[in-house]
Amino acid sequence: MRPAASLLSIVLFSFALIAPAAAFARNPAHCQNIAKQLVHYDAMKVRAHEKGEDLWVERYEAHIERIEGHFAERCPELYADQMATQQFAKMVKSAANAALSYLTLGAY
C-alpha cells in the first residue's frame, strides 16, 4: 500500500508542476502582461542610456533577457510573431535609411 501511495503522490506532484505551465500558454492576458513588461523595461533601458547610467543599462539588458526567456517559454506563438515583426521593422528601417541617403546624395 505504501509504494502505491508514494507513486500516487509523485504523480500528483509532477502534475502540479506541469499544470501551471500549460495554464500560462492558454492565458493571453499573461502573455500580454509579459509583452508590456518587455516594452517598459526597454524604455527604461533607453532612458538609462540617455542619462549615461551604464550599470543600469546592463541590469535592464539582463532583466529583459530573463523576461524574453519567460516569454519564449510560456507564449511561443506570440514570441515568434513578435520576433518576426521586430526583424521586419529592422529591415524597413535599414531600407528607409538607405533610400534617404540615396535620395539626398549622402547628405543624411
Rounded CA-CA distance 81/37 in Å is: 17
How many Cβ atoms from other residues are within 10 Å of residue 66's Cβ? Answer: 11
CA-CA-CA-CA torsion sign (103, 104, 105, 107): negative
Rounded CA-CA distance 55/41 in Å is: 14
SS3 at position 18: helix
pLDDT digits (tens, 9 = 90+) for 72-95: 999 999 889 988 998 999 999 999
pLDDT digits (tens, 9 = 90+) for 7-31: 444 444 454 444 455 555 567 889 9
* Statement: the pTM of the whole predicted model exceeds 0.85: no
pLDDT at 25: 54
Q: Is there a contact between 16 and 23 (Cβ–Cβ < 8 Å)?
A: no
